[in-house]
Amino acid sequence: MAMPGGQGVPYGGAIPYGRPGPPSAGVAEGVSPHAVPYGDSAHHIAKDAHLLQAPPSGGVAQPTPTQSKPNGPTVNGSWTHLGGGYTNGPSPKTSSHQQQVPSLSPAGVASSRINQGYQQPGSSPLVTPTASGPISYMHPSTSQVAAPVRGPPPQASFFPPTPQGSNMPPSTRAAPQPGLPPIGQPPVSGTSFQRPMPVSGPVGPPPPTSVSGSVYPVSNPPSAFPGPPTSGVHAASSSQHLAAGPQPSFQGQPPLPTNFRPVSGLPPVSGPHALPGTNRVPGPPTAAPPTSVPAPPSSQFPPPPASGLSGASFPGPRTAGLAGPAMAGPGMPPASVAQPGTHTQGFGPQPPLGSTPGAPQQRPGYPGPPPTSGAPAQLQTLHGRPSYPQQFGYNQSVGNSSLPPPPPLYNAQQQPTQQPPLEPPVGGVPGYDPELHSRMAGLSVNASFNKLWGYEACNLLQTRNILPKTPEDPPKPSLPAENANCSTDIFRCTLTKIPETQSLLQKARLPLGVLIHPFRDVSHLPVIQSSTIVRCRSCRAYINPYVQFVERQKWKCNICFRINPLPDDFMYDPSTKKYGEPERRPEVRNATVEFIAPTEYMLRPPQPAAYLFVLDVSHGAVQTGYLPSFCKVLLEELDNIPGDSRTQVGFVTFDSSVHFYNLGEGLSQPQMMLVSDIDDVFVPSPDSLLVNIHESKALIQDLLTNLPSIHAQNGEPTSALGAAVQAAYKLMSPIGGRVSVFQTILPNAGPGNLKPREDPNQRAGKEILNLLPATDFYKKLALDCSSQQVAVDVFLMGAQYMDVASLACISKYSAGCVSYYPGLHSTQNRSQVEKFEAELRYYVTRKIGFEAVMRIRCTKGLVIHTFHGNFFVRSTDLLSLPNVNPDAGFGMQIAIEESLADCNVACFQAAVLYTSSRGERRIRVHTLCLPVTAMLQDILGSVDQEAVMGMLCKMAVDRSLSSSVVDAREALVNACLDLIQAFKTTLGSGQAAALGLPIPHCARLVPLYALALMKHTAFRVGISTKLDERVFAMEQMKTMPLTYLMTYIYPALYPLHMLDDQDALELDDGTLVCQPPRLQLSFENIDRHGCYALDTVDRLYLYVGRAVSDHFCVNVLGVPNFLAVPEDMTELPQLATEESERVRNFLSWTQSRRPFYSPLRVIREDSKDRHLFVQHMVDDRTDSALSYYEFLQHLKQQLSK
């Protein structure tokens, strides 16, 4: 295919980006994206002035043509860096001498599988088989891509190997130590090693000896989802695989009962251990431990000590810190002072008499714990950390005298105390309760400090209802309150404290990444119009609340730390009309701002809003009846389509041929022109096919009114979708804009025709095939569209197989969106018709941005190595978005390339340059700032569990496409195991054993969400699931903003029979919306006398119990009793009762908070469609999956191996 201007477009090669422009080219991010060639390498783009800085006055920088390697995303919106470029096709330059040889590592590590002809999703890392040990991860600039290695099947592990010397388990199987099997793996046959069991016994019911149903087989590698590459920062990690190890089998064993209940009460916790022959407890060491947990020589976890005492790997609390007189109390014996130079087992010498153990190191500038009695007012600065800059809202002197740091998470053996341990009385004492004695022995005042500083632990096995009944606010970074951080609805990080080094991140075994909703509708958005936009001269970051004003007219960039001059006009505050107060400017007081771009940010006048609708009118499409619904909605909303006086619109229909509609001036009615040569389609009369919506409004209305009748008798069964989209591309390429495609059957004629690939008999199997596209036709076409600023949105409506995996590519790589309405029919499936009409109405009227680019900048030392979403990657941090809409979400995985030891905070900045529908060039900037920590305990206490699950589900989608769904499921299980295991390393052995299945309180919902994800349509096995529905669910997880994604993963269940006005939410119009408690998804919480609402984002179910009261039926459902409730009830009557008003207000409010329309479906307890409600009760056991409590027992079994 030839591009405009006669340039060829080799697939996978350098694709000219944009149309030939005038001699003057633009600038970057600030530049209209037309002038940047697709093939630019990362190095070239990073260095060229025309991409990173504004041109000098008097001219615009001209880009330099270069020869470079191709770049582009891989399947499902991920990208890869291969030797400085990005590829859309097969991995280039495979060495002929690199044969497919299995790894020589004792662990049998296998390289990533690469399908022929496709670059796998998740951006495969650069791997080279080594003579021994794990796979070598090399920098892209120094190595070629290794050939695929055919070895053992890949293991469910997403993390790269842990560097030697780390105390975290490696993600790949390293050679076992003599006499020890690999950690996290059952001992192989013939091994006599047994892992020592904890001193305390198990908590709760004993672990089941057999589990039936769909087991989550885990060879239990200590790693699960991948972290970034340790070498070669641009190599993405979401398709790394490891060799499979032995997997436990639970098949063929008797099933477990579903009514497991944890033992009530607290677990027995061992008290302090007295020294032999004495009644005193060894004290903590006098010297403060290092700021981070030291790594043992081995790269694996050592087995926990057999005794209850903590070993050298768990140093006692520091004594440096607060000091004060000893507190004497009744019955307290004098303190025993250890002899100088002597150490008791596992402890250092005791602190001096009257000293108080200190707390872990805290970075200056952050608030510390409340002062205690006798605390000195002046504290010393910590280890040379620079204090907070003055613009953060504190006086400079305050930063130098920070408050005391938080205390460590002590265990029972580490408690510094001068009391003798509690001993059971000799002889019987009336009222003595051994269980109460055991529980009281482990109590400590430090529990309140642990909770205050985020170190609170949660025992999953003894937490009955773990889901909060009311929504919890996302965790907030520990930053001064004067600085407003970016809203968590827009910008969110998986960790609210950034690890100082990559090795520390690997110890935490958590994904580091950000989730962004960049074009979200914001109610109060500061819009700034200025002749000068202040940006860093080096990294081109925008000035923001976290920069530092170092002199009168200079500021220090918080991304690259360069000192920049401040323009004179920036010293003027428009709100106060005063000079000399740059810190009061809106750019410095708001983390989200929008600039109106000056002329140097554009190459040409902003494009007009242009919309083209491509409609399937084949026989199958006519039978669904979607065409009258489409025409009705568009006629009603024609005046509300975003745009200005230049807005253009056009229409194309297709069956076995392509039909164009002439709407030019001077015509009394529209004229249809037919092109039957679909193999070489052309555009007749292009000037009159895309017309001004205001000037040709009468002809447009005439066409929409008559279009259904024109094709009502069409009996053509074939569909030439590929030819129609090619014609749309040719029609829109001179301008750019949005193409909306409506398809109802599998394309079966002309270019891009597809064949059925689904086997209905394999829908319930564990091996899910055909998740990848069948052809690269639609991907190539999408890249052509993206180069001309054309985005393609696809609406799929069909009862039969449509190959969503192939058709979605045209939206994925052109920054479009995919909507799917299975079984839509005007008479047989009215709920889908209502959903289609409601979402189409929102779609044609929502805000839109054209010819956009988005760039993500990070603090020096951090790099982005993987993207998730619908886009095309143009460089290491630049995404091409021909269209950007308010409902598009993106994810980015972060690597720590350099140590952040000199940084107090890490910053991320996202800038979106776009053209509004009214023809304005604008830049929306979001800035997120997070503190940096050097402590593993701080990292695990700063987990944003929703953001972590949002990132894990995107990584799981990539793993499903690159490997298998079973692999992705196992990796989710391993992610839970890794998190628990990493947290246990911060506890003493006694406390870890007493807690049973410990997890940070801030991450307590991760196992619950992981189980729900494995039972979701996208990843479930053993249940009949249509291939199109599975692929569409995966597409939603890649692009859905986190706000909606969490409800999509774990639906919301509310009791409607208990609504009252207590704690009701009052809307702007005065309407009261009741806020019922949220329930966990188990029939344990379902009362047969009640009625419940289940919100799954795409559906809203109303479940009516068999014994529901007649009063509720009359006042809410409008029927006398339960038996009178209609089977096909899809809406509630508007009754003049308080109960009816409360229920309807709550349901309407629930639907109005998101762009997805959720049709209501009333389901009776005895309905034949009851399974639609039951399948979402993910906490309960099913024939093919475990219950939540069984899943926890499974995790415990895996950890005990």
Domains within the chain, CATH numbers bracketed: 102-282+435-475+943-1049 (1.20.120.730), 610-759+773-847 (3.40.50.410), 1051-1177 (3.40.20.10)
The secondary element (H helix, E strand) that includes residue 872 is: strand 872-875
Residues 55, 600: contact at Cβ < 8 Å?
A: yes
What global pTM score does this model have? Answer: 0.68
* Residue 1155: per-residue pLDDT: 87
- Identity of residue 974: N
Cα–Cα distances in angstroms (integers) from residue 922 to residues 52, 598, 884, in the given order: 17, 9, 12
* Residue 507: per-residue pLDDT: 94
Nearest CA-CA partner of 51 in 26, 19, 76, 81: 26
* Residue 285: per-residue pLDDT: 40
What strands, in cross-sheet order, belong to the sheet with 491-493? 491-493, 513-516, 890-896, 862-868
* Residue 315: per-residue pLDDT: 35
Cα–Cα distances in angstroms (integers) from residue 425 to residues 271, 274, 339, 719, 945, in the given order: 15, 16, 30, 87, 45
Angle, helices 830-845/626-636, rounded to nearest 10 degrees: 30
The secondary element (H helix, E strand) that includes residue 819 is: strand 818-820
| Token pair listed for 498 | 């950034």
| Token pair listed for 50 | 């025309």
Residues 1184, 214: contact at Cβ < 8 Å?
A: yes
Chain length of the chain: 1201
Residues 6+ apart with CB under 8 A from 760: none
- Identity of residue 524: H
Nearest CA-CA partner of 732 in 559, 567, 610: 610
* Residue 1198: per-residue pLDDT: 94
* Residue 600: per-residue pLDDT: 84
Q: Where are the alpha helices (DSSP H) in 1098-1137?
A: 1110-1112
Helix (H, G, I), strand (E, B) or coil at 1176: coil
Residues 1033, 1017: contact at Cβ < 8 Å?
A: yes
- Name the phi and psi angles at 992, rounded to 5: -60, -40
Residues 310, 414: contact at Cβ < 8 Å?
A: yes
DSSP 538-574: TT-PBP-TT-EEEETTEEE-TTT--EEE--GGGGEET
Q: How far apart are the first and last CA of the chain?
A: 58
Residues 205, 263: contact at Cβ < 8 Å?
A: yes
Residues 6+ apart with CB under 8 A from 946: 474, 492, 1005, 1042, 1046
* Residue 56: per-residue pLDDT: 37
Q: Where are the alpha helices (DSSP H) in 1094-1137?
A: 1110-1112
The secondary element (H helix, E strand) that includes residue 1045 is: helix 1042-1049
| Token pair listed for 882 | 């021909």
Angle at 777 between CA 772 and CA 783, to 5 degrees: 100
* Residue 405: per-residue pLDDT: 45
Query: What is the gyration radius of the CA atoms in the chain, in angstroms?
Result: 32
* Residue 451: per-residue pLDDT: 54
Cα–Cα distances in angstroms (integers) from residue 1180 to residues 192, 218, 1008, 1012, 1168, in the given order: 38, 21, 11, 10, 20
**541-559 exposure pattern, b = at least 16 Cβ within 10 A, e = fewer:** bbbbbbbbbeeeeebbbbb
Cα–Cα distances in angstroms (integers) from residue 853 to residues 878, 924, 1145, in the given order: 7, 11, 40
Residues 541, 557: contact at Cβ < 8 Å?
A: yes
Weakly modelled stretches of the chain, pLDDT under 70: 1-455, 481-483
